[in-house]
Structure 1
Amino acid sequence: MSDGQITIALYRPYPGKERELLDIVQRHVPTLRLEGYITEFASLHLQSEDGTILEIFEWKSLSAKDQAHYSPAIQQIWDVMMQVAEMTTLSTLPEATKVFPIWKQLHL
C-alpha cells in the first residue's frame, strides 16, 4: 500500500497573467518529480470555466510535501506562481455546485 497523498492544487490567474501561469505550471510537476517529492502518478491539469487551473498529482508522503517547502527549486517556482495567481479552493469554482462537474483538460 502506498503512502502517497493525492492533492488538487488550484491556481486562479490574476487578470492578464494566464499565459505566465500556464508556463509556470508546466514546470511545476516535472520539478517536484525531479526533486523526488512526488510519485510517477500521471498528473492531470484541468481548467475551470473561470480560468482557475486545477493540478492533480501525488505526493510521495505527507513528509515529502512538507520537505518541498525547503527546496530552493520548488520555492522559486512557488514564489513566481504567487506573483501571477492566487491559491483557491474547490468550493470557489463555478463547477462546485454541479453534481457531475466538467472541466477542460489542459495538455501541458
Structure 2
Amino acid sequence: MTEDENLTIISTYRVRADALGEFQELLGRHWPVLRELELVTATAPQYYAGDAGPDGGVPIVEIFEWSSGSAAQHAHTHPAISEIWERMATMWAPGSTEPVRAHLAVHPLEVAH
C-alpha cells in the first residue's frame, strides 16, 4: 500500500452488554473525530452488532476507510483519539475466548461471476 491509498478497516469488538449504550455513543464520536483530523475518508462508516455470546460480550463491527497508509499511526498519537480508545478499553467483555478487539485491513477483490 502506498501513502496515497485508502485502506478499509474492519474492526471487531466484544463489548459487555451493560456497556453497549455507552460504547455506541463512543462509536458516534470516533469517526467524526477521525474525520475532523482528516485521518479517514468521507465514506460513512458502517456498524453491525451481533447477539451476546455466553461470556455476555456483544460483537460489534465497525467498517471505515483510513485516508492514507500512515493515518492509523497518526491516530495513535493524537490525544482526542487516545481518549476514545482508552474509554472503549474499559468496556470489553471479560473472559471471552475470542479477542476483545481485532482489526483487519482489506482491499477490494475482483471476483468474476
Whether these two folds match at TM > 0.5 is: yes
Answer 1 or 2: higher relative contact order, Cα 8 Å, separation at least 6: 2
Q: CA deviation at 1:49?
A: 2.6
Q: 1:23-60 deviations in whole A, cap 9, x for unaligned?
A: 11111111110111000012111112332111100001
Q: CA deviation at 1:88?
A: 4.0
2:44 & 2:20 partners in 1: Cα distance?
23
Q: CA deviation at 1:17?
A: 1.0
Q: Is the 8 A contact 1:4 1:60 kept in 2?
A: yes
Q: 1:59-100 deviations in whole A, cap 9, x for unaligned?
A: 01120111110000000000001011231478xxxxxxxxxx
Runs of at least 5 residues in structure 1 that lack an aligned partner in the other structure: 91-108
Q: Is the 8 A contact 2:10 2:103 kept in 1?
A: no
What does residue 44 of structure 1 align with?
46
Q: Is the 8 A contact 1:10 1:89 kept in 2?
A: yes
What does residue 87 of structure 1 align with?
101
Q: Secondary structure at the match of 1:52?
A: strand
Q: Secondary structure at the match of 1:16?
A: helix
1:59 & 1:88 partners in 2: Cα distance?
16
Say which one has the larger Rg.
2
**Residue-pair matches, total:** 89
2:59 & 2:28 partners in 1: Cα distance?
15
Structure 1 residues 1-80: aligned runs within 5 Å: 3-50=5-52, 51-80=58-87
Runs of at least 5 residues in structure 2 that lack an aligned partner in the other structure: 53-57, 93-99, 105-113
Q: Which runs of 4+ in 1 moved over 3 A?
A: none
Sequence identity percentage: 33
